[in-house]
Amino acid sequence: MAGFTGFPKETLAFLEGIAAHNEKPWFEAHRDVYEAGYVAPARAFVEAIGPKLRAISPAVQFEPKVNGSMSRINRDIRFSKDKRPYKDHLDLWFWHGERKGWACPGFWFRLTAKEVYLGTGMHGFEKEQLEAFRQSIVHPRSGKALLAAIASVRAKGDYEIGGKSRKLLPRGFETDADRAEYLLYEGLYASATLPIKAAAKPGFADLCLAHFANTWPIGQWLLDEVAGA
């Protein structure tokens, strides 16, 4: 994919370094590596894949900058027992809706020193969305459409279907066994884990794009049935 030929070795070196030395003096001493090996290739990746994602979902949004599709490396430690100041991974987000946020399905990407994790969907629902999700599951039309979307994703690869967090079915919702399984979910997404060596290859952006396309049926169902609740 033009403009992006894989993450360079400096990216992995920086991620390994910040994991081992998660402190401000080390970060400041390696700020040049952060800019060249972390920010620059991340921006190039977003610029390369963002427009291509619109062939999958025309409404997807992206901004090739920090605080746009690129999450800040600084951690919010105000209310956390973990006082490490920096993330030891790279997070990217391609969202739906006029404003960046997590209230709609999207495509996410995480690069660590050991692996790549990417996927499509929503990790959690807001209160109104959870109600809409459950109502859509028990409705004959949308419930069957959900099963079809999940089957489509599974037919294309060994994707994890995540979001299950309950042990007991919510009260007041009844449906057949196949659909009832998803009443235990409070988020819904499909994800894949890739070996870190894949990130350095010239065709890496196209590989990610293929996984996003394969998992989008779940995202489309969420966009149709849940996102606007």
- For the stretch 114-140, pLDDT in tens is 999 999 999 999 999 999 999 999 999
Residue 195 domain-assigned? yes
Range(s) of the domain holding residue 74: 9-225
Residue 127 domain-assigned? yes
Q: How many domains does the structure of the chain reveal? A: 1
Residue 42 domain-assigned? yes
CA 53 to chain centre: 13
CATH number, position 120: 3.30.930
Question: What residue type is 126 in one-letter code?
Answer: E
Question: What residue type is 60 in one-letter code?
Answer: V
The DSSP annotation for the chain comes to: -TT-----HHHHHHHHHHHH--SHHHHHHTHHHHIIIIIHHHHHHHHHHHHHHTTT-TT-B--SSBTTTBPPSB---TT-S----B-SSEEEEEB-SSS-SSSS-EEEEEE-SSEEEEEEEES---HHHHHHHHHHHHSHHHHHHHHHHHHHHHHTS--EEEEE--SSPPTT----HHHHGGGGEEEEEEEEEEEGGGGGSTTHHHHHHHHHHHHHHHHHHHHHHTTT-
Contact 223, 140 (CB under 8 A): no
Residues present in the chain in total: 229
Give pLDDT tens digits along the chain (229 positions): 557 999 999 999 999 999 999 999 999 999 999 999 999 999 999 999 999 999 999 999 999 999 999 999 999 888 888 889 999 999 999 999 876 777 889 999 999 999 999 999 999 999 999 999 999 999 999 999 999 999 999 999 999 999 999 999 999 998 999 999 999 999 999 999 999 999 999 999 999 999 999 999 999 999 999 987 6
Q: Could you tell me which of 114, 197, 207, 214 has the C-alpha nearest to residue 158?
A: 214
Cα Rg, the chain, nearest whole Å: 19
Per-residue pLDDT of 69-84, as tens digits, reads 999 999 988 888 888 9
Residue 211 domain-assigned? yes
Residue 102 domain-assigned? yes
Residue 160 domain-assigned? yes
User: How many alpha carbons fall within 13 Å on the CB side of residue 189?
Assistant: 24
Residue 59 domain-assigned? yes
Residue 150 domain-assigned? yes
210 token code pair? 């293929």
